[in-house]
Amino acid sequence: MIDGSPSSAGLEAQIRTIAPFDLASLAEVHAACFAEAWDSGALAGLLAMPGAQGLVAEGPGTSVVLGFVLLRAIAGEAEILTIAVKPGARRGGIGRRLLNAATASAAASGASRLFLEVAVDNGPAHALYLAAGFAEVARRANYYPGRGGAITALVLAKDIASRSMVPLAQT
Ligand SMILES: CC(C)(COP(=O)(O)OP(=O)(O)OC[C@H]1O[C@@H](n2cnc3c(N)ncnc32)[C@H](O)[C@@H]1OP(=O)(O)O)[C@@H](O)C(=O)NCCC(=O)NCCS
């Protein structure tokens, strides 16, 4: 299936926490999605950072990795480090489900605000984030190298509910 065509895998895909045995598959998906690929070691290093979390989408009915998201939640704020869906599995809702799951995970970790960066010319990702309620809060000029010149990054943010923030009276 070509990128941009609807996929039916999204609703049936299983989303679970990333395990060490996923690293090689995650690296393959990342290489298929980004010009600057992160290898297994780089991904393991990110997941070893304090507050780092990862979720993978697989299946349906198989253990084939279709996409994943890495995030970091620390000191009441969270950041999406990367999100990627295999080209053949896009437009089926997996990106939205991964983003929603990452948002819930960040909130459960005590974050009240979720940030991410997206290249100004990344239309699909920008559309995904806007549809999920993110709004632009800043721009970083000349942030991404490549494609004939440096590309501006948009910094997007969204307020998220934090289930772990229980009123003191209830603790
Ligand atoms: C961005 C990305 C993760 C989206 O994954 P996806 O599984 O295709 O997204 P979904 O099917 O869940 O789409 C959810 C919504 O995002 C928007 N969207 C996603 N892809 C789009 C596209 N090609 N064109 C326009 N809107 C798009 C739509 O609003 C869509 O809702 P709809 O299908 O009801 O119209 C995927 O395109 C990807 O991996 N891109 C390469 C890596 C990347 O750029 N990551 C983001 C870095 S900041």
3-state SS, residue 25: helix
> Above 70 in pLDDT, residue 80?
yes
- Check which CATH number belongs to the domain holding 43 and give it: 3.40.630.30
Residue type for position 134: F
Token pair for 111: 């974050």
Q: Which of 91, 94, 116, 140 to mutate to test the pocket of ligand 1 (most atoms within 8 A of CB)?
A: 91
**For range 103-121, the mean pLDDT:** 97
136 inside domain? yes
What DSSP designation does 168 have? G
168 inside domain? no
111 inside domain? yes
What domain range is 147 assigned to?
A: 9-163
Tally of structural domains, the chain: 1
pLDDT tier at 162 (50, 70, 90 boundaries)? low
Residue 105: which of 156, 53, 67 has the closest Cα?
Answer: 53
3-state SS, residue 56: strand
Ligand 1 binding residues, C-beta < 6 A: 4, 10, 33, 83-85, 90-96, 118, 122-125, 127-128, 131
169 inside domain? no
E strands, 23-150, are 52-58, 65-74, 77-85, 113-119, 135-144
Query: What is the pTM for the complete model shown?
Result: 0.91
> Above 50 in pLDDT, residue 115?
yes
Residue 161: the pLDDT is 77
171 inside domain? no
